[in-house]
Amino acid sequence: MDLSMLWYLVPSVIMLVCGIYGFITRKNLIAILISLELMLNSADLNFVVFNRYLFPGSMDGMVFTLFAIAIAAAETAIAIAIIINIYRSIGNTDITEINKLKY
């Protein structure tokens, strides 16, 4: 069965917009992290799709996506560690409380 590229790109855009929306509106750091992952995954999806449809002979996009997933996992680990530390020092994970780093 033939699916055009659009069938993949539209969910990707929806994922990205959800991610952005979540990132801006959520108060909980964990939720923000999840939104972030959502945006990252939509980008990964794009890589794979473009590779598959535009350059069928090569594997660059696939390999790149594997790397991106691995790095995203590491990054998530660091983010979780930071969040835990923030929780230990101020007792919650509310983003509105964390605004000391400014002018």
**Interacting residue ranges for other proteins, rule: CB under 8 A:** 20, 23-25, 95-96, 98-103
Contacts of the segment 65-70: beta carbons below 8 A, 24+ positions apart: 68/40, 68/43, 68/44, 69/44
**Which one, 39 or 66, has the nearer CB to other proteins?**
39
Q: How far is the CB of 56 from other proteins (least distance, A)?
A: 26
**Which one, 14 or 63, has the nearer CB to other proteins?**
14
Q: How far is the CB of 62 from other proteins (least distance, A)?
A: 26
| 3-class secondary structure, 26 | coil
**Which one, 28 or 58, has the nearer CB to other proteins?**
28
**Is the Cβ–Cβ distance between 26 and 95 less than 8 Å?**
yes
Helices (H) and strands (E) in the chain, counts: 3, 0
**Which one, 6 or 101, has the nearer CB to other proteins?**
101
Residues in CB range of 69: below 8 A, 6 or more apart: 44
Q: How far is the CB of 28 from other proteins (least distance, A)?
A: 12
Q: How far is the CB of 58 from other proteins (least distance, A)?
A: 25
